[in-house]
Amino acid sequence: MATFLHWLQHETPGLLVLCAAGIAALLLMIIRFRIEPFIALLVTGLLIALAAGLSPEEIVGTAQSSGDSLLEDGFASILGHITAIIGLGTILGSMLEASGGAQLLTRELLTAVGERRAPLAMGLSGLIFGVPVFFDIGIFVLAPLVYVVAREGKRSILLYCLPLVAGLSMTHAFLPPHPGPVVAAGLLGVDLGWIILMGLACGLPAFILAGLLYPVWIGNRIHLPVPDDMLATADAMARERTEQGRPDPGLGTVALIIGLPMVLILGGTFGSITLPAGGLLATVTFLGNPTVALTIAVLLSFWLLGTRRGMTGAQLSELTAGALRPLGMLLLVVGAGGFFGKVLAETGVGDALAGSLQATGLPMLVSAYVISSGLRIAQGSATVAIVTTGGIVAPLLQAGDHSQAQLALIAVAIAAGSIIASHVNDGGFWIISRYFGIPVADMLKSWTVLETILSVVAFAMAASLSVVAG
């Protein structure tokens, strides 16, 4: 037994077996026993730590020094970086949703491009509105407009809904303040400005192919009319909005609220490269901090989208509380993922993986994409795929000399893998099927293929850019 334990805890093959067993246990708990990912990640991390020979004091601390422990350090290392960013981003998206900014933006785009190019307008709406708004909220808010446009166009609903969900998916996967890219940035130690730049560089070409070209091809082959109950819902929501009597915000206001934080974050990132030391650099760096930039945008939204349009302080408070309420489980999953990654680093599993991956000759970017894709296909959750892959990959990058651009591209590769091949174990699959009345067989032909195209093209762009960045 002692020989086996020494092999398991100190030899590279044993550490790799320990890692594989841990991931298998994680997937078994999530897929077979339907245990919440937060609990599954926490239990897996504890089991790996104990099996690797770490003492209970190292893992959880002591009564005298409970703060000095692997458990608390793992949670704090990632939650301290992302909690405020995700919370502020969620509030910002809720303000845009409640103010009618999404509907205004879509209507303006439809007017600008014309009825014949309505699918393009829906795709751009998803792309723009998807920056501050969660994926499922974006579908909920914009789906009624898809129903109306599809009814007037008298063509398959796939032509209109697929561009929309592709835009929402692209921003959700690759751009802050969405949880996936923010978590990847935190785990890998990447400035969010670089994440925005590389996310756009890789995500936009993928969106064009998956969100604009593919829907035209599949929409002309699968004709799905808009169900009557969905049209009734759209008409009811339109009447309700008219009865409220609250004016829509201006298009410039919506654009300002959406674009300001990204501009400030990018300014802070590239100001540190181009500006000399001094007061201007300090100001740009302060304003470009993601938490500061999003706080400014949220306060502006409270004024421009809230109080100036008749919302009371109590209504703003209620809206903010409602926006933050669903974040608890997400943050717990991310924190448990941070602990899981810390365990891999402290037990030597990370070093063993690094040596094994180097022996295969695969670049780190490719390995990250493959791991993330496998986890995504197996258990369905993009968040779990990102936090688990980030925890595996982060220790492997510590010894290397990687630039911020290279790290950002690895983060993009992880995010790309986390959205591949959405199928029946993915909650987003069922949301789209329900909201747009798409049968499961047609979902597999349309949405599953679209997500795979989005994933593969974004990864191909990241791989291409890594050659230049390297």
In a domain, 193, yes or no: yes
Q: Output 168 or 154, whichever has higher pLDDT.
A: 168
pLDDT at residue 384 tops 80: yes
Range of the domain at 358: 26-49+67-469
* Environment class of 243 (CB within 10 Å of its CB; exposed 0-12, middle 13-18, buried 19+): exposed
Question: Given this model, what pLDDT does residue 208 score?
Answer: 97
In a domain, 286, yes or no: yes
Q: Can you list the alpha helix ranges (DSSP code H) found in 380-439?
A: 382-398, 404-417, 427-436
Give dist(CA 70, CA 56) in Å, integer: 10
Find the mean pLDDT for residues 12-16: 86
Question: Given this model, what pLDDT does residue 361 score?
Answer: 76
Average pLDDT score, the chain: 89
Give dist(CA 166, CA 163) in Å, integer: 5
Is there a contact between 162 and 178 (Cβ–Cβ < 8 Å)? no
Find the mean pLDDT for residues 219-246: 71
Tokens at 32, concatenated: 């077979």
SS3 470: coil
Q: How confident is the model at residue 234 (pLDDT cuts 50, 70, 90)?
A: low
Find the mean pLDDT for residues 198-226: 95
In a domain, 405, yes or no: yes
- How many CA atoms does the CB half-sphere of 219 hold within 13 Å? 22
Find the mean pLDDT for residues 68-91: 89
pLDDT in tens, 105-161: 888 888 888 878 999 999 999 999 999 988 988 898 888 888 888 888 888 999 999
Find the mean pLDDT for residues 36-58: 92
Find the mean pLDDT for residues 231-250: 64
Question: Given this model, what pLDDT does residue 13 score?
Answer: 86
Question: Given this model, what pLDDT does residue 410 score?
Answer: 97
Q: What are the Cα distances from residue 403, in Å, to 172, 369, 395, 460, 461?
A: 24, 19, 16, 19, 18
Question: Given this model, what pLDDT does residue 5 score?
Answer: 76
pLDDT at residue 86 tops 70: yes
| Number of structural domains the chain divides into | 1
Question: Given this model, what pLDDT does residue 275 score?
Answer: 84
163-177, 226-240, 332-346, 440-454: least confidently modelled range: 226-240
Give dist(CA 319, CA 426) in Å, integer: 28
Give dist(CA 68, CA 61) in Å, integer: 6
Give dist(CA 76, CA 40) in Å, integer: 18
Task: Centre a 10 Å sphere on the Cβ of residue 364 and count the other Cβ atoms it contains.
Answer: 21
pLDDT in tens, 421-454: 999 999 999 999 988 999 999 999 999 999 999 9
In a domain, 14, yes or no: no
pLDDT at residue 405 tops 80: yes
pTM of the prediction? 0.91
In a domain, 357, yes or no: yes
In a domain, 379, yes or no: yes
Question: Given this model, what pLDDT does residue 355 score?
Answer: 74
Q: What are the Cα distances from residue 237, in Å, to 144, 147, 152, 164, 437?
A: 8, 12, 17, 19, 18
Name, of 28-32, 317-321, 352-356, 408-412, the range with top average pLDDT.
408-412
Task: Centre a 10 Å sphere on the Cβ of residue 140 and count the other Cβ atoms it contains.
Answer: 15
pLDDT at residue 295 tops 80: yes
In a domain, 449, yes or no: yes
Find the mean pLDDT for residues 382-400: 86
In a domain, 343, yes or no: yes
- Identify which of 345, 402, 428 has the alpha carbon closest to the alpha carbon of residue 52: 345
Give dist(CA 458, CA 265) in Å, integer: 22
Give dist(CA 170, CA 158) in Å, integer: 17
Q: At 155, which amino acid appears?
A: R
- Identify which of 88, 92, 132 has the alpha carbon closest to the alpha carbon of residue 302: 92
Q: How confident is the model at residue 238 (pLDDT cuts 50, 70, 90)?
A: low
Question: Given this model, what pLDDT does residue 399 score?
Answer: 65
pLDDT in tens, 275-289: 888 888 999 999 999
Q: How confident is the model at residue 66 (pLDDT cuts 50, 70, 90)?
A: low
Q: Can you list the alpha helix ranges (DSSP code H) found in 101-250?
A: 101-113, 118-129, 135-153, 158-174, 179-188, 192-207, 214-219, 228-244
**Rounded-to-5 percentages of helix, strand, coil across the chain:** 80, 0, 20
Question: Given this model, what pLDDT does residue 239 score?
Answer: 61
Give dist(CA 50, CA 346) in Å, integer: 12
